[in-house]
Each structure stands twice: as C-alpha cells, then as structure tokens.
Amino acid sequence: MGALIAFETARQLYGKHRLSPSHLFVSGKSAPHFLSTRTSLHKLPDDRFKHELRLMQGTPEEVLQNDELMEILMPRLRADFTASETYVYRPGEALPCPLTVFGGLQDHDVGIDSLHAWQELTDGPFQVQLFEGNHFFLHKQEQAVISHVLNGLSRQTETFAAGGAVIRSR
C-alpha cells in the first residue's frame, strides 16, 4: 500500500503545485493501472485470511497463532488490504521524475510484467530492480535496497522550488 500512497502523493504534488520528487521509489506493488488477477483478501473469512497471510510469509507464525494478538491486528490488516484492493486508478499526467521499482524474484503475487508497467507512469528514467526473495524481500535485503536508493539519489540532480525560482544542485 505504501507504493500507492507514495505514487498518489507525488501525482497530487505535481498536478497541483508542479512539485516533483527528485526520485520516486516504490516496492512490491503492481503498477496502479495494471489489472490484478489476485483474489481479494480483505473479504475472506478470518481463517482463510490468516491462511493467506501465512502463504505470503510476511507475518511471523508466532503472531498468526496468537489469537489475542490477531484479534487486535486483523482489523488493521484488513483495512490495509481493503485500501489497496479497492484503489481505483485514474489516468493522469506522467510524473517527470525518475522512477525505480523494487520487487522480489520469488514474489508470486506481483509479477515482473506488473512491475515494468510502472514505466508508463513516468517521463523520467525508469528502472526495475529485482532482489532474491518473495513479496517481503525487504526483510532480508534491507541493506541492498538502501544501497540502491542511496545510489539512485546520488546520481540525481536535485531540483527545489524556492520563491518561484528553480535552484538545481548536484
């Protein structure tokens, strides 16, 4: 869901104020306009929902087996899935900034084609960077992802709007 929030925030800032991030990084999410064939998880009964969470391998087994904790977490998890699964993409102007998409090589829910589809949403440079792991590759690839973000940012020219003037720095 974070990828959608980042994307929509960037779109709103650019559409309303002509401000753009120096680089947009998104992770583990099909392009917003890419039609998903995935089952809607937010409507599943609790036992099936927990089963799907287990298959995704992002929630520790100790948490899934703790009924009291799951009673607290389940509404929040469902809310996240509801927001993500009911999001409706509205076509708009392409972002002018570079866009990098991160994905897991063994992510069975987010295919490589759906990651490449993000390219249609930017006029800037585009890159897909794949890592070993499933949808939650970030858990084991944190340092590699941070390194890619830092390298991507260090290559960019930062542009800031200040008092109507555009200031560029390297």
CA-wise closest residue to 145 among 63, 26, 15: 26
Higher pLDDT residue, 57 or 98?
98
Band (pLDDT 50/70/90 cuts) for residue 154 is confident
The residues, ordered by sequence, that sit 6+ positions from 96 with a Cβ below 8 Å of its Cβ are: 14, 20, 122, 123, 124
Q: Is 9 helix (H, G, I), strand (E, B) or coil?
A: helix
Task: Report the percentage of the chain scoring pLDDT > 90.
Answer: 76
d(CA 72, CA 74): 6
Q: Please give the model's pTM, rounded to 2 decimal places.
A: 0.83
The residues, ordered by sequence, that sit 6+ positions from 45 with a Cβ below 8 Å of its Cβ are: none
Q: What is the mean pLDDT of residues 23-34?
A: 94
Phi, psi values for residue 160, rounded to 5°: -125, 140
